[in-house]
Chain A
Amino acid sequence: MQLIEQHIAAHKNVPGALLPLLHAIQDDIGYVPQDAYKSIGKALNLSVAEVHGVVTFYHHFRTEPVGRYILQICRAESCQSMGSEKLEAHVKAELGIDYHQTTADGALTLEPVYCLGNCACSPAVMLNDEIYGRVDANKINQIISEARAGELA
C-alpha cells in the first residue's frame, strides 16, 4: 500500500492522471488492487465507482495478481490466417488453463490480445514485453519451458 501511495503522490497533479497512475501501479505490482480505489479516488477527486468504471473498461488492467510471466496470444485476423486458432488450443491444453487464468505453479498467466503489430510474421505471441513471430507448437513449447525455468527476462 505504501508503494501505491508513492505512485499516487507522483501522479496527483498530472493532467488526465488516472491512466498513467493505473499503469504505474500495474507495472509495479502486476495488477490494480481494488483496495487502492479509495485512495486513488481521493487523490484525483473521483468516486470509487468512477475508478472502478475506468479500471474495468480497459482490457489491459487487471484486478487480481498474475503469474511471473504473462503470455499473450494474438487472436486477430492476420494471425488467424496463419493458424493461431490451433496454436491457441495447443497452449490452453499444454498449460491446462483458459484465458485470464494462471498456471498452478504461478509461472504463467494466459491472455488474449488483438494484434501485436507483428502481422507480417503471424502467428505472434508476447511474453511480458518480448514479442515472438511465426510461432508454432515447438516454438511455443520452448518459450513456455524457458519461462517456467525463469530463464527469460
Chain B
Amino acid sequence: MANKHQYTCINCPMSCALELTEENGEVKSVTGAQCKVGERYAAEEFADPRRVVTTTVPVRHGLLPLLPVRTTTSIPRRLILDATRRLAEVVVDAPVSNGQVIVPDIMGTGVDVIASRDLDKDAGRQSQARV
C-alpha cells in the first residue's frame, strides 16, 4: 500500500510544499521540491527529522554575557532538548573566535557545536550607549 506524507521544506524561504510517497517504509517518490535539497529533506523527515540547533552559552569576561552557538550541521530532532540541556552546562572564556569548537561531537552525533561570532574580551565595558 502506497502512503503519502506532506512536508514543508525548511531549507530556504521558498518553503516548498513536498509530498513523499512511500510503500512499506520505502520511499518511492518526492514531488513539489524546486531543488534537490527538498527531495533529500522529505526523505529525512520521513525517516528521522533533523534540525540545526542554535542557542547561547555564558561567557566569562566577554564584551557581552552570552555567546551564540550552532551545530555545524543538522542533528536528529529527537536529540534537540538533550543537546540544549548539555549546552546549558557549558561556560566559555572570552575571547572567542567565530567557528571555534565549543562542544565537539554533541550527543554522539558526530556534529560539533561552534561559536557563531567573534566575541572579544570586555575592555572595561564601554557599554554606556546600550540601555
Chain B binds chain A = no
A-contacting residues of B (Cβ < 8 Å)? Answer: none
B-contacting residues of A (Cβ < 8 Å)? Answer: none
